[in-house]
Structures are given as C-alpha cells and as structure tokens.
Structure 1
C-alpha cells in the first residue's frame, strides 16, 4: 500500500511539473488576424492566456511569439485545461510506473 502511495506522489509531481512547463516550449505564429489580447500557450491544450500590449508594424507579419513577460502582460491560468491535462498526465505516469514495477518483479 505504501509503495502505491509513493508511486502516486511521484506521478503527481511529474504530472504537475511536466504540464506546468509546457508554455515555455510553445510558440504561436502571429498573423494580422491573430488576437494578441488572447495569446494562449501550452501543449497539447493552452493552459495560460496572456493579454499582450504588443503593436507590431504591418511589415512584421508573420512572426513567432512565445511566452512574454507576465510582469508586463496580464496572465491567467485556464484552470479547466490545466486540471484536465494534469489528471491525464498523472494517470499516464502512474500506469507506466505500475507497469515498470510489475515488469521488474517478473524479471527478478
């Protein structure tokens, strides 16, 4: 029982950290139609939304935009997407760890 609890805690840690860092690796190609006031980042679903104050020049399009400074641009977490992704990641990691534990017992 204690080992399954440890596996669950490890899974939660990996799931939360893994999902929380995805906006740092995501970027969006900005075109003239793109709404910069709702700049969303995260993989595979957006988990943060930034209200950017950028006003690019007309000849700057298209350009790639990633995470901008949250101190200068209001940022909010899309809690529904975040929780959905964390639960999915925790479940997946937990199943993989239980499978690896079972496999290691069979090998011995």
Structure 2
C-alpha cells in the first residue's frame, strides 16, 4: 500500500459502500497517474446531502432527482412520496442508494 492509495481512499471512502472498499483499493493501486488526476474531477454525490434532501423535500422526489433516478423521482413526485410510505423508506435507504450510484459511476470511469 502506498501513500497515494491511502490518500485517495481517505478522500473518497464516504462516497462508496463499505463492502466495495477493498475492490476500490485494488483499483486505486493499479491506477496510473493520469486517471488519478481525472478521478479528482469526477463529482460524486454526497450521501448526507441526499439524506437532508430526503428529510426536507422527500415527498417531492427531490432526493431521487439529486442522485439521478429521474424516473423514480417523477413517480415519487406524482404519488406524493407513495402517500408518505416511500418517503419514510427513503429516510433509511437513500444514503446506501447514493453510495451504490457513486460506485457505478466509479466503475464506468475505470
């Protein structure tokens, strides 16, 4: 493990699911310098911001629009958050979903 890998992992670990961190570490170690600098330009969605959006404007689907789930955001908007049930479920699941979406974005970058 080198310092570059540790620094990248510390910088980006909050954006990814914990079960994927070992695979991300391996990818970081095998990454060349040009990809490393490009990785810093990628914008990952913050799970805490998504949770705050879910709490404040959950029934409007703003949290789903934020993470890029446009179809689900529209469905949530039209059903007023699934009559409140979907909104309550998202309070607990939205952070995990954001991390999964960030991981998908990372894999397409690689």
Q: Do the two structures share a fold, i.e. TM-score over 0.5? A: no
The TM-score, its normalising length taken from structure 2, stands at 0.37
The TM-score, its normalising length taken from structure 1, stands at 0.38
Larger Cα-atom Rg: 1
Greater strand fraction, Structure 1 or Structure 2: 1
Greater helix fraction, Structure 1 or Structure 2: 2
